[in-house]
Amino acid sequence: MSIFKNIMSWVWPILIGLLLAFFVKTFLFSPANVVGNSMAPNLQAGERVVMLKAAKIRRNSIIIFNAYGVDTQEPNVTPKTKYIKRIIGLPGDKIEYQNNGKLYVNNKLVSQSYITKKQQSSGTLTLSTALSPASGVTLGTNKSFTVPKGKYFVLGDNRKISNDSRYYGFVPKAKILGVVKAFIWNKHHKLINSFNSN
């Protein structure tokens, strides 16, 4: 009996630790890798970040979402493909992206100081010829669109190369896996973790 007790004295802590780790990874947060350069220079390809699964999704939050069924133009998307992008519009938001690169959300000018002026203008407004523009997304002065209920409008920070809502449209809330937070040694961490557009 004492042998059984001795075995269980170290088995139980291991089991409890594994259960706690499973709970944390499943419901609270998990590590993630940045794939690609669509969020450069604020996030680099291969960079490690933390994904908070229960965090509130706000405008300018960086999110990870499952791209399967969202991006139907990219043939290599599988059920495991994940994209990382910045939330520009929340459900119900009215978006106007003017020819000069200024962004208005609900008729209010919104800062995009997390990217260069060139990315704000030509980087955003010059669309790739390799992809078709999304229906329901209209860019340019005096053009506006409304983000549908339960969906989000997302863009990559590296607008020139980013495959985002300009091409595949709005991201359903059900596809969003969590909100990204960068580690403090990333010199752009404030632009990722707590950027305030006001």
> Residue 86 and residue 76: Cα distance in Å, rounded?
22
Kindly report which listed range (5-19, 98-112, 116-130) carries the lowest average pLDDT score.
5-19
What pLDDT, in 10s, does the model give residues 66-85? 999 999 999 999 999 999 99
pLDDT band at 2 (very low <50, low <70, confident <90, very high): confident
pLDDT band at 189 (very low <50, low <70, confident <90, very high): confident
**82 in active site:** no
What pLDDT, in 10s, does the model give residues 127-178? 999 999 999 999 999 999 999 999 999 999 999 999 999 999 999 999 999 9
**38 in active site:** yes
pLDDT band at 26 (very low <50, low <70, confident <90, very high): very low
> Residue 158 and residue 136: Cα distance in Å, rounded?
22
User: Taking the complete model, does pTM exceed 0.75, yes or no?
Assistant: yes
Residue among 53, 61, 80, 85 flagged as catalytic = 85
> Residue 104 and residue 180: Cα distance in Å, rounded?
24
The CATH classification number of 34-193 equals 2.10.109.10
Residue among 2, 5, 30, 38 flagged as catalytic = 38
Q: Would you list the domain boundaries of the chain?
A: 1-30, 34-193
Cβ–Cβ under 8 Å, residues 152 and 119: no
DSSP E strand stretches across the chain: 29-33, 48-52, 62-66, 82-89, 94-97, 103-105, 108-110, 145-146, 151-155, 171-172, 176-181
